[in-house]
Structure 1
Amino acid sequence: MAQAIAILDSGVGGLTVAKEVMRQLPQEEIVYFGDTERAPYGPRAAEEVLKFTRQIVEYLLQFRPKMIVIACNTATAIALQHIRAQVKIPVVGVIQPGSRAAIKSTKNGSIGVIGTENTIRSGAYHQALQAINPHTEVFSLACPRLVPIVERRMYRSPEAKQTVEQSLRPLLGSPIDCLILGCTHYPFLTQAIADVVGPKVAIISSADETAREISTILHHRGQLEQSGHVPVHRFFCSGTPETFQAIAQEWLGEQIRVSPVFWQMTRLSE
């Protein structure tokens, strides 16, 4: 039986990473957990985010995955190092891959970052970008109103466009030539974001680079799936599954089944 890649997120945002993994590594199986009951993580205390991430990792380990992907920028910023110290398999976050992609893209060295309050407050992107190139100028902006729009499946609504315009206004006078979507929910709003910042600003999603990193690590460890079998993906969420399933099927372009884990999350939250 194939070992899966475990992907976790505060909700549906990590589906952007899952989609890229499915595209780049079509033989790999995915087991996905979206913590929709407790999303968003952005405004929560760091201690809560760390606790929730540990709980989800504990749940996912029962599937004996070969890798864990923290496909949530807030959880990556707060919990990545803790989880790496806790488990014996590779753990990948989304901040380093996104930072590398932005450094490759920028021509003038001015990079914008939008994310949740916790991600921006942590300074994780600022540190990652300047570790690669100390001369990088970073313009960071928290956009707390964007995740709820995605989680409510309103990312194509007029309200979404208006909220994006209002949220990004403080960045519009800056000299950035690329913008990191520092939350895996934000690619759902890529078109609206691109319309606001204009064609001269490249939009950087960490999903593509994260999938590439997953591939590199698994290849190095001799763990890339090469059996030729058709993968069976499993999806779990901590809240009511109907909205999650509708968003997932729309985004991934295929029928999936989502299993709720109410009793597990109740037990783990005690």
Structure 2
Amino acid sequence: MSILKNINTELRNDKSINLDKMNISDAISLMINEEYSVIEALKDQHSNLVDVITHTAKVLENGGRIIYVGAGTSGRLGILDAVECPPTFSVDYNTIVGLIAGGERAFIEAQEGAEDNPIFGESDLINIDLSSKDIVVGIAASGRTPYVIGALKYANSINANTVAISCTKDAKISEFANHNVEVVPGPEVLTGSTRLKSGTTQKLILNMISTLSMVQIGKVYENLMVDVKPTNEKLVERAKNIVCQATGVSYEVAQEYYEKANKSVKIAIVMILNDCDYKQALAILKNNKNFIKR
């Protein structure tokens, strides 16, 4: 019997049996409707998501890193989430790291067989000097990827915290993690193509992990990205608008304080809200553990 036979992500979707005969309009409607199952499945894992994000935030607060580990689509989604965090939250590129089986080349070109050896998962973590302060988040739609299992086993061996994210119940990778999220969105419209609903599921989970972990360590004020790194013209304008939105001052005043704050949105906001100078704003942030208000 095939080892994939009873894995949720490999089952056939009865609603799409005639996908090859559907007109484009009906196929689009089907794919849209199937995505709703992702949201419902996520709701079932609410408490597990709270548990995971509580721990990922604590790791960041204590100076550790979040390490995403996956193969194929799962690995690419981890990298996608990781690389967006430095410009959004002004964190170091090593704060949230994405590792993919087969290395960087695998992001744009499938590296067949790279996911099948657990030793590669271990060696990739060794190469980035994984420590017990870090948390490893293993991502595998099928819940059984050897590369991910190898990474989780190694993380456990050095007492790093571990998380398993899968799209099937009773996932194999959950056996090797301290915390797990098993979201089951159901069979794919295209059987076994986990870049579809499973990919959507994983992207939403990673969005929550990175965003809400950053909220917990003071990188967000109200719902504003106050630690945004203004690296291009659009982001410079966004930065000034954030100062306006957070304080209610005019664009001109926001621009003035943005310059006084050495182009730091957060410091500019603290200066305005507390009617203080740059050095005083730094002291306030230090006292508040980097939160604008606490």
The structure whose residues are more often helix, as a share, is: 2
Max radius of gyration: which structure?
2
* Pairwise TM-score range, normalised by the shorter structure: 0.3 to 0.5
Normalising by the residue count of structure 1, what TM-score does the alignment of the two structures yield? 0.35
The structure whose residues are more often strand, as a share, is: 1
